[in-house]
């Protein structure tokens, strides 16, 4: 049976563990497969992670066991230490390029096609944004017989130039929550502009009043700050 996140979605810790295995397989192949210690260190990185997580060894081990039962991770026993590798493309039934995009979405959260192409540079070099979009659209249109869609194109956030993509490996996404998080640090747009214009009008009116009073009293009006008056 193909992997179907609608029936058995990944837990957030499982997604982070799986994505870290995907990342390290491509960025540090000499150290791959990973020991539990190396895997936990990668999961808890402060860079290239959204959200930043603090996963304990026991949590990572439990996540690995769950991924193994889903045929998404493989345990490799050696004389020195137990190591782990992912089985993502085969377990989910996607090509390597799609696995790269899903791994990045699990690690870094929703991204535009352009951001994915840039962030994938160390994983896989996509020829252009169109090739990224083609793989994303294929994942979005994945049929029920293959386990259903694995990504969703989010509505364009206010002020954003491009829409972002999100993965569905952990189940349906809360679009409103994602948009609120994306807009938390963004400018307020038209509402802010209207407020600024109103304040500027009030300042101009006050300056005019001061100049009129100074003229009536026969004194020089104070100089206006540069760009005003």
> Which tops the pLDDT comparison, 144 or 216?
144
Q: Is residue 57 part of a domain?
A: yes
Statement to judge: residues 217 and 152 lie in one domain: no
53 in a structural domain = yes
174 and 218 share one domain: no
| Boundaries of domain holding 22 | 12-183
Find the CATH number of the domain harbouring 25: 1.10.10.10
Domain count, the chain: 2
Domain assignment present for 194: yes
Give the residue-averaged pLDDT of 169-180.
Answer: 82
Q: In terms of domains, do 133 and 147 share one?
A: yes
H/E segment holding residue 196: helix 190-217
CA dist 118 and 124 (Å) reads 10
Of all residues in the chain, the percent with pLDDT exceeding 70 is: 84
Q: How confident is the model at residue 157 (pLDDT cuts 50, 70, 90)?
A: confident
Question: Strand locations in the chain, DSSP E?
Answer: 34-35, 73-76, 83-86, 151-153, 165-167
Residue 139 contacts residue 128 (beta carbons within 8 Å): no
- The answer on 115 and 26 residing in a single domain is yes
Same domain, 31 and 46: yes
> Which of these ranges, 25-39, 57-71, 119-133, 183-197, has the smallest mean pLDDT?
183-197
Residues 37 and 140 in one domain: yes
Per-residue pLDDT at 156 exceeds 80: yes
């Amino acid at each position: 049976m193909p992997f179907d996140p609608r029936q058995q979605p990944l837990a957030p810790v499982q997604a982070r563990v799986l994505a870290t295995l995907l990342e390290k397989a491509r960025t540090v192949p000499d150290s791959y497969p990973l020991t539990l210690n190396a895997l936990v260190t990668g999961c808890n990185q402060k860079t290239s992670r959204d959200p930043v997580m603090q996963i304990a060894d026991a949590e990572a081990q439990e996540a690995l066991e769950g991924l193994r039962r889903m045929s998404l991770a493989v345990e490799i026993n050696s004389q020195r230490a137990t190591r782990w590798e992912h089985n993502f493309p085969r377990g989910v039934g996607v090509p390597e390029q799609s696995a790269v995009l899903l791994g990045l979405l699990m690690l870094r959260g929703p991204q535009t096609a352009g951001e994915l192409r840039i962030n994938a540079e160390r994983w896989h070099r996509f020829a252009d944004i169109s090739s990224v979009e083609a793989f994303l659209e294929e994942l979005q249109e994945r049929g029920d017989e293959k386990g259903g869609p694995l990504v969703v194109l989010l509505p364009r956030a206010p002020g954003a130039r491009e829409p972002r993509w999100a993965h569905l490996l952990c189940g349906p996404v809360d679009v409103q929550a994602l948009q609120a998080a994306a807009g938390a640090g963004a400018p307020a747009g038209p509402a802010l502009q209207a407020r600024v214009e109103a304040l500027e009008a009030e300042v101009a009116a006050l300056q005019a009043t001061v100049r009129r009073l100074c003229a009536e009293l026969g004194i020089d009006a104070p100089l206006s700050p540069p760009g005003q008056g």
